[in-house]
Amino acid sequence: NAGVTQTPKFQVLKTGQSMTLQCAQDMNHNSMYWYRQDPGMGLRLIYYSASEGTTDKGEVPNGYNVSRLNKREFSLRLESAAPSQTSVYFCASIFTNRANNYGYTFGSGTRLTVV
């Protein structure tokens, strides 16, 4: 049981390049989330998917797009990377609408540097 798997773990992009961050969970969770964490800061929500087939904006969605490919996979795409998007990106998943859910499970993060 791997939990939440993120790829890649590290990435360096040039300004203007595009890339997709991948996230997959094997816990049959219905909701998935993308967060970013800047140095010394808390996590901020970029986008989330409450269930397969739905996506919604979070606190800081500008410059990003997402795809809930199926129940397991939720990808985050940077169409034209900017230095301000240098950050650590975390994917998370959870069962929602369950009284006894045991909280979010987070991936180990993708460290992205845009130069």
| Binding footprint of another protein on the chain (CB under 8 A) | 4, 30-31, 33, 35, 42-45, 48, 50-51, 56, 58, 88, 90, 92, 96-99, 101-109
Q: Smallest gap, in angstroms, from Cβ of residue 101 to another protein?
A: 6
| Rg of the Cα atoms in the chain | 14
Alpha-carbon distance of 27 to 30, in angstroms, equals 9
Nearer to another protein, 14 or 98 (CB): 98
Least Cβ distance, residue 72 to another protein (angstroms): 17
To another protein, the closest distance from the beta carbon of 28 in angstroms equals 15
- The residues, any chain, with a CB within 8 Å of residue 41's CB and separated by 6 or more, are none
Q: Which is nearer to another protein, 17 or 52 (CB)?
A: 52
| CA 83 – CA 114 distance, rounded (Å) | 5
Q: Measured from the CB atom, is 47 or 78 closer to another protein?
A: 47
Question: Which amino acid is located at 72 in the chain?
Answer: R
- In the complex, what is the shortest distance from the CB of residue 66 to another protein, in angstroms, rounded to a whole number? 13
Task: Give me the residue label for tokens 């490919």.
Answer: 69
- Beta-bridged to residue 47, according to DSSP, are 34, 57
